[in-house]
Amino acid sequence: MRISELIRNSRKPFFSLEFFPPSDPANFDAFYDAVDELGKLKPLFASVTYGAGGKKQARTLEITSGVAGRGIPAMAHLTCVGANEKGIAEFVAGLQKNGIDNILALRGDYPEDRSWTPENSRFRHASDLVAFLKKEFPDMDAGVAVYPYPHPESPTFAEDRKWTAEKLASGADFAITQLFFDPREYIDLTENIRTRGAIAPVIPGIISIQSFESLKRILSLCGAHIPPKLYLRLEEANAKGGAGAVREEGAKIAVDMIRRLLELGAPGIHLYTLNKSALCETIIRESGLA
């Protein structure tokens, strides 16, 4: 099931999910319990992340196939880091063998030893992956990631929007945003790239903050911006009740964001689950998506 078709045929706002493969096979049963619980809410699709540098490629293939086997349209992440044509072709063949028609094409993070850089790779950018996939595997959908708040490596906002539009023009069927905390950033992104000719649907990615420490880690890793009022809400919750209070406040913020984004015309939302089914179910139901 191609995600672009599922989006096009959706008659109401939808939600999709992102999971990450458990590092320990002993946790597979608990992981699939979470998938099954959220699957009951009928997500439009679910994606499975890819280890840094492609280190968990086999695990991604295994888990994505397992998700698809439970009746949820599935998508595997794929990064440029360490990629070559042979490896990509083998990975895609494994997906197709298991009835999976969707890939999220990403540049990926640099390995810690900096053994990979865009300059020494055939696949320097996500757009290179998309172009290759569209040429060699035209029956596959290729999505890309985009940044409502500009990518940390972008020199200016305008430059970021320019390259985002060009990435979509490379043949991407849809886009999912990196996490963000201000709905206005999503609207600015979509309006800007539309003026540049990008027509692919853009799904906002939403995360629910788990602790004040995780918030600081997220902000440092992806360069996202959080409005001061929200930061102060989470800081106050942390001071009063620690991680539990922050989780509760984070869920409220996520629900408020989802409702606002849908009011502003977003086609649906992509929820970064952190493999936590109960919290995600609460957010989905309180957002009116199930």
Inform me whether the pLDDT recorded for 55 exceeds 60: no
Of 69, 132, 134, 145, which is closest to residue 106 (Cα–Cα)?
145
Long-range contact set of residues 64-69: C-beta below 8 Å, sequence gap at least 24: 64/95, 64/98, 64/100, 65/94, 65/95, 65/98, 65/100, 66/32, 66/35, 67/19, 67/35, 68/98, 68/99, 68/100, 69/98
> What confidence category does residue 112 fall into, taking pLDDT thresholds of 50, 70 and 90?
low
The model's pTM is 0.94
Beta-ladder partners of 17: 46, 271
Name the residue with tokens 């320097």: 124
Cα distances (Å, whole numbers) of residue 77 to 17, 113, 187:
13, 22, 25
Walk me through the domains of the chain, giving residue ranges and CATH numbers: 3-210+255-286 (3.20.20.220)
Query: pLDDT tens, 208-247?
Result: 999 988 888 888 777 788 999 999 999 999 999 999 999 9
The residues annotated as belonging to the active site are: 18
Beta-ladder partners of 85: none
Cα distances (Å, whole numbers) of residue 17 to 2, 38, 218:
15, 9, 18
DSSP 109: P
Query: pLDDT tens, 168-222?
Result: 988 999 999 999 999 999 999 999 999 999 999 999 999 999 998 888 888 877 7
